[in-house]
Amino acid sequence: MVKRVTCSRVVVVSLLTFAIIGFGAESSRADAAKGKSVFEAKKCGGDCHITQGPATEKTFADQLKKKGPELWYAGNKLKKEWMEKWLQDPAVIRPLEYNSIEKKNPGNHPKLSKTEADEVAEYLMTLTSKDVESGVIQANKNIQGKQAFEKKQACQACHQIEKTGKVIGGLVAPSLVKAGERLQGDWIYAYLKKPKVFKPVKRMPVYEGYLSDVDMKNIAALIASF
Enclosing domain of residue 59: 31-128
| Same domain? 74 vs 153 | no
In angstroms, the Cα distances linking 53 to 27, 93, 197 are 26, 23, 9
| Same domain? 140 vs 113 | no
Average pLDDT over residues 31-57: 93
CATH of the domain at 73: 1.10.760
Query: How many helices (H) and strands (E) are present in the chain, helices listed first?
Result: 10, 2
Domain boundary among 95, 110, 128: 128
pLDDT for 109-131, tens place per residue? 999 999 999 999 999 999 999 99
pLDDT greater than 60 at residue 21? no
pLDDT greater than 60 at residue 86? yes
| Same domain? 148 vs 121 | no
Amino acid at 17: T
46 three-class SS: coil
The answer to whether residue 105 sits within a structural domain is: yes
**pLDDT, the chain, mean:** 88
pLDDT greater than 60 at residue 161? yes
The answer to whether residue 99 sits within a structural domain is: yes
The structural domain count of the chain equals 2
| Rounded-to-integer distance, Cα 131 and Cα 11, Å | 42
Length of the chain: 226
